[in-house]
Structure formats: C-alpha cells, structure tokens
C-alpha cells in the first residue's frame, strides 16, 4: 500500500514539475521572438529592424548603414527577401511579386484579390459569378433606387450623440435635433442596447457609466457602474448582455454584466487603448491602441485567440465601428485625418475618407446603410459620407459632439451570419505547450488508475469511474478561470462563448 501511494505522489510531482516549467519555456520563446526582426524586415548590424524593401535603395535607413552594404548580392537568397511569395532579384535590390489572382500589399506580402471589395459597389451582399457582380440585401433591408444600395425597412434610424449640452437626438440628415437628457458633464463615449431601448455613456469628469431607458417616463439617467476611470470607448454585446470598455488608466479592455453586478478585465497590458467594438454573432472582440505602437487587434469575447489586424500606416485610431452586413471594420485616425476600413481578418484594406476639413479631431464613428458617420471635436460637426468612397459629404454643426451611435434594431441583429473563412495558423510554441500538457494529463491518469487498482476500487469508486462527465472551463469573460463556484452563483450573468 505504501509503495503504491509513493508512486502515486511521485507521478503527481513529476506532472506538476512539467506544468510549472512549461510557461517558462513559453516566456523565453516570446522574448526571443521579440528580439528578432520580422520576415518582412531587414536586421541591421546593430540589431535594429527596418523594412526589407528599404535595403539597397541608396538611402541609409540603419543607423550603421548596414542596409546599404553588400548590395551586389542576391537578396532573394536570404529569407526570400522578406517576400511572402515570389522574390525577383534585380541589378540593384529586388522586388516582390505575387501569383495570379493575388496582389502585393505593403511591398512584401500578397493577398487574395476580392472582386467584390475591389469594385466596392454593393452595400451588403456581393455575388461574383462568371466575371460579373450581383448585389443583394440582407434580411430587413430593401433595394434602394440606386444599384447596389440597401435601405433599412421599417422605422427610420436616429443619430444619437453626446455633447456639452447632454445626450442629443437627430435624424440622419441632421434635421429635427432635440435633447434627450440634460448636461451630465464633459461628453464622452456612447453606446446602446436597442432591444431594451437603453443608452449607456460616460464622461471624462466622472468614474461612472450612465444608463438611460428611452421609453421611461422620467427620462432620468441612472448610474450603471461606478469606479471605472479613464474610459475611452464603449460597446455592448447585445446577445450576451455584456458591456465592454477601454480604459487608458488601466491599459485594459474590461467587461461587465449589463446589470452592473460583475466586471473584470478581459485584455490587459495595453499601452494606450482607445476604442472597442464587438461582433457577438461571430464571437469577435475588436479594440484599437494609440501611443507608441498604434494598432488594431481582435480576439474572442473572452480575450483569447488574439490577432493583430492593422499595424502599418496607422498613427492614432481613436474610434472603430463595424459594418456588420459586409464583415468590415472601419476606424478613424485623428493624426492621419482619415477613415479606413479592413476585413475582419486584416485583409482588403482601403482608405475611404481622407482629410476634408472635418476630420481634424474625429471622436465617434458609426456605419449604417450606405454611409459612414463620424463626430469631429474641432469643427463641432457630425458628418456622413459614402462608406465606399467618401463622396457625398454632408455635415451638421452641433454643440461639441463626442460619442456617436446610429440607433436602429437592424444594427444589432440576432440571426447568426456565416463566419468568414480564414486560413488555419499554427503556433509552434502552442503545439509544444499542448504536448507537455498531454504528458501531464497522461501522467495523472496513469497515477490515478494505478492507485485505483491497488486500492481495489476501480469499478466501484465514483472518483475513478471512466464514465464521469467533465465540466468544460467557462469562456465567459466575467467568470475567473477555473472558478467552478462562480457558475453556481452566477444567476444574472450571460455566458460568452468563444
């Protein structure tokens, strides 16, 4: 009996040691990768990284000038010149090339050509067949008078925005402005839950998130959440009833149940988070960062499976918005004075609106039907333009607009769309970690089975029963990992699937 117990505990100790040492290996690998240049970059002799296309271009980009040395060699022989597909050596330098059906982006990478997004004439569904394009509208929309246009059926949408005078309402064409609430401090981020006719907003003076039910008789806001400082962006998961926000004080994306009972950070360690958006039907959470490393990223609703979408030609993305029918993300850059868009997988990027006198300090952003809307702090205007090409610009001057939301039920649908196909990716470190985890699990099972056999309880003990179901760890961002007691007490929280 003692020998079996000693073996049991020895195997458990071995499994524990494997588990403890596994993260260290992962951390070391991450640090190693952080010191290495990307495949699209050239490694200077002093260790710094510059774009591979800058090598041998008659301009010293490395501080030590090493990018202009040995320019007579075939750069394609080294890491394929940083090209994702074809590298073509030239008398001076090299160029990257792409196979048929693909095009070159950022000088080094190839992406599939999408005829629909290249033509960019359909508001919603685009069908490419036999060399021609056909535009269709999703459920709840009808064809407009112009080809490719889709208009929302039923009630007209409303533009709701926060301002120095309070929360305001107006028609999309800028007419019939009216006040919803009185002044509640310096205007800030704004979002909505249309199914419950509820608005959520914050301001820069307080640490509260306010809530207002639009069909309530008194029209008085209440405090949904307190103690949340530095809020820059707000977004509602209308399927799982969760509020997400970014905070430049905590450097994180947070999530809270809409009843205000629980909240927790979902993404942490961000340098300067600005905006946030959510697509709960596909399980996507998006956020933007400014500061020294501006970027736009995506993850699951629980913060797992992070993926970077935009890192180049971006300086200060202050707001993001989703075009749900087309699966596109739009962002406004306050330093580039532009509005751009990209697919959910980071491909098919396009700048839609460039500096036009009304993009000096954009703040809020929304997309609906054929247009993209934004608020501008500098001009005190709310503008809209064609979401395909930035034409047909129309602006309405209001009082210090900030947060912006287009209010219509079709902007928060409950039917599940077909998720976009994405190429599978493999992370060697993740595979190594999974192998070690498998070894740990096998060691534990072997130890348990050996112990049960020695104790003579293999067939009767419920602990050793092979048919006992196992509970899967929750993916809810509001439930701490591994906390099974939280499941039992969590009557008012909605689960968030991956």
pLDDT tier at 348, thresholds 50, 70, 90: very high
Question: Looking at residue 447, what is its pLDDT?
Answer: 62
Burial level of 185, CB count in 10 A (0-12/13-18/19+)?
Answer: middle
Q: Measure the CA–CA gap between 180 and 405, rounded to whole angstroms.
A: 14
The per-residue DSSP string of 299-318 comes to EETTS-S-EEEE-SS-S-EE
If one compares 303 and 263, the residue with the highest pLDDT of the two is 303
What is the mean pLDDT of the segment spanning 454-468?
45
Q: At what angle do helices 428-455 and 2-35 cross, to 10 degrees?
A: 170
Select from 3.40.50.300, 3.40.50.2300, 2.10.25.10, 1.10.10.10 the CATH code of 75-112. 2.10.25.10
**What pLDDT, in 10s, does the model give residues 262-298?**
889 999 999 999 999 999 999 999 999 999 999 999 9
Lowest mean pLDDT, pick from 33-47, 117-131, 178-192: 33-47
Domain segments of the chain as ranges? 75-112, 155-411
Of the ranges 2-6, 72-76, 161-165, which is most confident?
161-165
Tokens for 139, please give them: 């459920």
Higher pLDDT, 469 or 183: 183
Per the model's pLDDT, the better-predicted residue between 378 and 455 turns out to be 378
Are the beta carbons of 476 and 302 closer than 8 angstroms? yes
Segment 107-134 shows an average pLDDT of 87
How much is the pLDDT for 137? 96
Q: CA torsion, points 232, 236, 242, 243, in degrees to nearest 10?
A: 20
pLDDT of 387 over the 60 cut: yes
Q: How confident is the model at residue 476 (pLDDT cuts 50, 70, 90)?
A: low
**In degrees to the nearest 10, what's the CA dihedral of 250, 254, 257, 259?**
40
Residue 420 has pLDDT above 60, yes or no: no
Does the pLDDT of residue 188 top 50, yes or no? yes
Distance between CA atoms of residues 24 and 139, nearest Å: 50
Q: What is the pTM of this model?
A: 0.68
CB 26 within 8 A of CB 429: yes
Q: What is the pLDDT of residue 215?
A: 81
What rounded mean pLDDT belongs to the chain? 80
Q: With 0-12 CB in 10 A as exposed, 13-18 as middle and 19+ as buried, what is 148?
A: buried
User: What does DSSP assign to residue 350?
Assistant: E
pLDDT-based confidence at 183, cuts 50/70/90? low
The Cα 233–Cα 209 span in angstroms is 11
**Dist. CA 254–CA 264, nearest whole Å:** 6
Two tokens, residue 220: 């008085």
The answer to whether residue 497 scores a pLDDT higher than 90 is no
Q: Which residues contact 137 (CB under 8 A, 6 or more apart)?
A: 123, 124, 125, 143, 150
The CATH architecture annotation of domain 155-411 reads: 6 Propeller (2.120)
More confident of the two residues 485 and 275:
275
Q: What is the mean pLDDT of residues 371-396?
A: 95
Q: What pLDDT, on the 0 to 100 scale, is given for residue 217?
A: 66
CB 215 within 8 A of CB 197: yes
What is the C-alpha to C-alpha distance for residues 335 and 355, in angstroms, rounded to an integer? 10
* Range 202-220 average pLDDT: 82
Place 472 in a pLDDT band, splitting at 50, 70 and 90. very low
Task: Tell me what the mean pLDDT of segment 309-322 comes to.
Answer: 95
Q: Quick one: pLDDT at residue 53?
A: 77
Give the other-Cβ count within 10 Å of 172's Cβ: 19
- Mind listing the pLDDT tens digit for each residue in 143-152? 998 999 999 9
265 - beta bridge partners? 254
């Amino acid at each position: 009996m003692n020998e079996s117990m000693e073996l049991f505990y020895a195997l458990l100790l071995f499994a524990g040691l494997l588990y403890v040492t596994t993260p260290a290996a992962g951390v070391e690998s991450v640090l190693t990768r952080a010191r290495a240049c990307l495949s699209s970059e050239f490694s200077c002799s002093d260790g710094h990284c510059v774009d591979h296309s800058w090598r041998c271009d008659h301009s010293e980009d490395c501080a030590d000038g090493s990018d202009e040395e040995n320019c007579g060699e075939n750069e394609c022989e080294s890491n394929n010149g940083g090209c994702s597909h074809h590298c073509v050596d030239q008398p001076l330098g090299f160029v990257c090339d792409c196979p048929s059906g693909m095009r070159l982006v950022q000088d080094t990478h190839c992406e599939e050509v999408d005829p629909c997004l290249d033509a960019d004439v359909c508001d919603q569904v685009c069908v490419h067949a036999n060399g021609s394009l056909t535009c269709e509208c999703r459920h709840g929309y009808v064809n407009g008078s112009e080809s490719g246009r889709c208009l929302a059926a039923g009630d007209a949408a409303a533009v709701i925005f926060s301002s120095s005078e309070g929360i305001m309402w107006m028609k999309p064409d800028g007419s019939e402005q009216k006040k919803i609430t009185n002044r509640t401090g310096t205007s800030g981020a704004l979002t909505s839950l249309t199914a419950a006719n509820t608005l959520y907003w914050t301001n820069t003076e307080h640490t509260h998130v306010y809530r207002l039910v639009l069909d309530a008789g008194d029209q008085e806001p209440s405090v949904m959440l307190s103690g949340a400082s530095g809020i820059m962006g707000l977004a509602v998961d209308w399927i799982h009833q969760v509020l997400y926000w970014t905070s430049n004080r905590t450097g994180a994306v947070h999530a809270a149940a809409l009843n205000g009972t629980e909240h927790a950070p979902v993404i942490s360690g961000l340098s300067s988070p600005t905006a946030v958006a959510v697509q709960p039907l596909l399980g996507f959470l998006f956020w933007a960062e400014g500061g020294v490393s501006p970027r736009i990223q995506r993850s699951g609703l629980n913060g797992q499976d992070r993926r970077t979408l935009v890192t180049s030609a971006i300086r200060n993305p202050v707001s993001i918005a989703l075009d749900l029918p087309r699966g596109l993300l739009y962002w406004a850059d306050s330093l580039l004075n532009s509005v751009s868009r990209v697919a959910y997988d980071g491909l098919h990027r396009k700048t839609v609106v460039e500096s036009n006198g009304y993009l000096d300090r954009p703040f809020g952003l929304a997309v609906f039907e054929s247009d993209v809307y934004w608020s501008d702090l500098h001009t005190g205007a709310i503008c809209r333009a064609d979401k395909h090409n930035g034409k047909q610009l129309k602006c309405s001057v209001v009082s210090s607009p900030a947060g912006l939301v287009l209010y219509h039920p079709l902007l928060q649908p409950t039917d599940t769309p077909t998720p976009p196909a994405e190429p599978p990716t493999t992370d060697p470190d993740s595979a190594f970690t999974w192998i070690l985890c498998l070894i740990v699990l096998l060691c534990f099972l072997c130890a348990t089975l050996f112990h049960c056999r020695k104790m003579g309880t293999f067939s009767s003990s419920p602990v050793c029963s092979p048919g006992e179901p196992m509970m899967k760890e929750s993916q809810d961002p509001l439930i701490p990992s591994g906390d099974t007691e939280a499941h039992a007490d969590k009557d008012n929280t909605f689960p968030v699937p991956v």
